[in-house]
Amino acid sequence: METYENKEMQTSENKEMQTPENKEMQTPENKEMQTPENKEMQTPENKEMQTSEYQGMHVPENRSTHNPALKNIGLYLIIPILAIAFAEFMIYSGRVLEAMEVHAVILLGLSLSMLYIKNEEIQKTYQALILLPILRLVNLSMPAFYEETLYSFVFIYGLLTIPVTIALTHQGFSRERLGITFKRIGFYIPLSIIMGLLLGIGEYLIIEANYLIPDLSVSYLLILTFIMVFLVGLIEEIIFRSILQNRLEEFLGSREGLIITSVLFGLMHSGYGSMGEIFYTSFVGFIIGFMFYRTRSLPLVTMIHGFINVFLFGVIPHLL
């Protein structure tokens, strides 16, 4: 039975099964399955998922939950926020010099804390909060202007571009997260003008602001619009929305970040000495912050903020 045919079956067919196709299955495709694709699944994408993207998503939680130094993590945030609020209420009560001293202590304390607190998330949060005492100190310590004038805004917000730009570049957010986009700008321009008018009327009814331009000529309106949109509105919206709201959203969550940013935005208007102004600007800050959260458009919130000021300090006082 084990003659020529059987041997031929054992040799030709078995060899054919063992050599061309089987070897091809054992070598090119199988090896290719064992090396390039499998290795690719084990190295580039999976490693990238295990390192860059997944670490970026999970590191803040792990740091805040497993780092023993962050056991009472809320204290790291509530202490500077309460200190800023305390300084602003001192301004509200007329104790401006003492408030400046408190803001100076806050500025020094936050700066030194960033040297000793190693948690990167808290460092970036303090870097965002530090812009508020800087804003207030620069605003209150301008010796060339003893009352609010149009050109005082140029000097104040011109100087603020330096620390704001530094903080912006060190937060680590993408351009999309910062809101640096001009999508739907054709729709946002008229929307911001309408919202600026409505919100500006509401604020004027509370503080009855004085006009900053002598008349409503085209030249003065253009100057006022440029300063209020591209200096005041832009710098403050970068501080409160692109930096602070984004950072607090990362630190606490979207809802909490929006609420705290809105309250701080309102408190920073304590210089008018009106509790109604503080509540109203907190409400305005919430609206602007919510629109930033939904659209991630820095130009939109900048224009809304700027046109509120244009109507508040320019158009409405002359008309009423």
∠ CA 239-221-137, rounded to 5°: 30
Instruction: Return d(Cα 280, Cα 284) in angstroms, integer.
Output: 6
Q: Could you tell me if 291 and 198 are in contact, meaning their C-beta atoms sit under 8 angstroms apart? A: no
**pLDDT tens sequence across 7-29:** 444 444 444 444 444 444 444 44
Distances (CA, A) of 124 to 60, 84, 119, 129, 130: 12, 17, 9, 9, 10
Residue 292 in this model has a pLDDT that exceeds 70: yes
pLDDT value, residue 5: 45
Distances (CA, A) of 42 to 37, 38, 51: 8, 6, 13
**pLDDT tens sequence across 102-161:** 999 999 999 999 888 888 889 999 999 999 999 999 988 876 555 668 888 998 999 999
pLDDT-based confidence at residue 45 (cuts at 50, 70, 90): very low
For residue 93, what are its two tokens?
């009560």
Q: Which of 1-10, 263-272, 296-305 has the lowest mean pLDDT?
A: 1-10
State the average pLDDT over residues 176-192: 97
Instruction: Return d(Cα 233, Cα 246) in angstroms, integer.
Output: 17
pLDDT-based confidence at residue 74 (cuts at 50, 70, 90): confident
Q: What is the pTM of this model?
A: 0.77
State the average pLDDT over residues 26-36: 44
Q: Which amino acid is at 229?
A: V
* Residue 45: CB atoms within 10 Å: 11
**pLDDT tens sequence across 231-274:** 999 999 999 999 999 999 998 999 999 999 999 999 999 999 99
